[in-house]
Amino acid sequence: MSTVQTITEAVPSLTLRNKSDQADSTNQEEPYKYAHLLPVFPKDEHYPPLTPFEHVDPGSRALSHPNPRSFLENATSVDDITPRLGTEVRGINLAALDNAGRDQLALEVARRGLVVFRDQQDFIDRGPDFYREWGRYFGRLHIHPTSGHPEGLPELHLVYRDANTTYNFEQDERTTSTTWHSDVSYELQPPGLTTFFLLSQPKTGGDTIFTSQVSTLSRLSPQFVAFLKTLKAVHSGFEQAEYSRSGRRGGVVRRDPVQNVHPVVRKHPVTGDEALYVNRQFTRRIVGLKKEESDAILNFLYDHIDKSVDNQARIKWQPNTVVIWDNRVTAHSAIIDFEKTNERRHGGRITPQAERPIPALAGLEL
């Protein structure tokens, strides 16, 4: 077997099979436009441990701007998705933003949790060099330890599912595909502003849901929040690595797995917003508590996150949509409800790392 395992081993043909993707009414198949961005899993790809770095959030520069939303002035529409979370924008070319516009974007995403930009074919089609340049403006680019990436572009994390293949967790092992998480929260310096787009999506389904961790925290009683601020929790990447080693996610572990301790309530470095920072996928236990105590608190918080629909926003994907969110103040989950349609869902994520989580409680030692 080649040292590079590609999606072509599992998919007989790199062509689109949906009628809407065919070149003409004669039902001829056309080559997949984004075949060069399909996942590979190089078996000999290994990286050293990540080292700490100083992160300066670009949004901090926008605070002194007389109109920090001026980058939206030429938009044809700017609509809040919900009162607490999310804004949808049309008429702005993200790829054309200058540095001041990118700073303002970072601040807007921090304040709204996520911003959805429609009609961004220019952004998506600019390709690998642009993806790297875009992401590095917002922080050090993260290379995922287990996921697939395009050939020669390890900085682009890919999600992929079609009729024959998936490199995500098996959904038939659970009653729901919903898995709330903040991306790779087990890193010492987890991601901040994150950019995601779909290169191919089902005709219907495959949405992404988000929740505001600022709002979920604000719904709790002040006494309980004060207690949560004294706590810190272990976030672990070991289970994800083991899942990949089992062969169910490409069989690759590029970097030795880590676990790190983060505050249960963190503070955003630019807005000062306080947000709940636990998630089912990566949070394992609360430091210093007995197992039953830790489980009771975490399960209560997970249940609160799951059920708080009034803090959530659901994004329906359209072609050429780019979604940008702040992992420090949100959690999200893909919705896998299209598995019987045999359609492809192929997405790319540009993931800059941010600062080590700042405790909401001053003086909390990590």
What pLDDT score was predicted for residue 20? Answer: 38
Choice between 139 and 14, residue whose per-residue pLDDT is larger: 139
CATH at 179:
3.60.130.10
Q: What is the C-alpha separation between 323 and 115, in angstroms, rounded?
A: 6
Confidence band for 4, pLDDT divided at 50, 70 and 90: very low
| Eight-class DSSP state of 19 | G
Residue 162 falls inside a structural domain: yes
Number of domains in the chain: 1
What pLDDT score was predicted for residue 175? Answer: 82
Residue 25 falls inside a structural domain: no
Residue 126 falls inside a structural domain: yes
Residue 8 falls inside a structural domain: no
Q: Pick from 335, 350, 316: which is nearest to 81 by CA?
A: 316
135 contact partners, CB below 8 Å, separation of at least 6: 141, 155, 195, 350, 351, 352
At which residue do the structure tokens 């896998």 appear?
336
Confidence band for 11, pLDDT divided at 50, 70 and 90: very low
Confidence band for 248, pLDDT divided at 50, 70 and 90: low
Q: What is the C-alpha separation between 242 and 319, in angstroms, rounded?
A: 34
As a whole number, mean pLDDT of residues 110-138 equals 98
In Å, what is the CA distance from 268 to each residue of 93, 308, 360?
27, 21, 9
Q: What are 30-81's pLDDT values in tens digits?
A: 899 999 999 999 989 999 999 999 999 999 999 999 999 999 999 999 999 9
What pLDDT score was predicted for residue 283? Answer: 98
What pLDDT score was predicted for residue 6? Answer: 40
Residue 118 falls inside a structural domain: yes
In Å, what is the CA distance from 329 to each residue of 14, 145, 182, 213?
38, 23, 9, 5
What range does the domain containing 172 cover?
56-358
User: Measured at the alpha carbon of residue 77, what is the angle toward residues 71 and 82, in degrees to the nearest 5?
Assistant: 100
What pLDDT score was predicted for residue 59? Answer: 98
Residue 199 falls inside a structural domain: yes
Q: Are 359 and 366 in contact (CB under 8 A)?
A: yes
What pLDDT score was predicted for residue 177? Answer: 82
Confidence band for 126, pLDDT divided at 50, 70 and 90: very high
What pLDDT score was predicted for residue 163? Answer: 83
Whether pLDDT at 140 is above 70: yes
Residue 113 falls inside a structural domain: yes
Residue 69 falls inside a structural domain: yes
As a whole number, mean pLDDT of residues 294-304 equals 98
Element (DSSP H or E) covering residue 107: helix 99-112
Tell me how long the chain is.
366
| Residues noted as catalytic | 181, 183, 332, 349
Q: What is the C-alpha separation between 195 and 232, in angstroms, rounded?
A: 28
Q: What are 211-244's pLDDT values in tens digits?
A: 999 999 999 999 999 999 999 999 999 999 998 9
Confidence band for 164, pLDDT divided at 50, 70 and 90: confident
Q: What are 315-327's pLDDT values in tens digits?
A: 999 999 999 999 9
Q: What is the C-alpha separation between 89 and 68, in angstroms, rounded?
A: 16
% of the chain beyond a pLDDT of 90: 83
What pLDDT score was predicted for residue 1? Answer: 38
Task: Return the structure tokens found at 296.
Answer: 């009771």
As a whole number, mean pLDDT of residues 106-128 equals 98
Count H helices and E strands in the chain, helices first.
8, 18
Q: What are 168-198's pLDDT values in tens digits?
A: 545 567 788 889 999 999 999 999 999 999 9
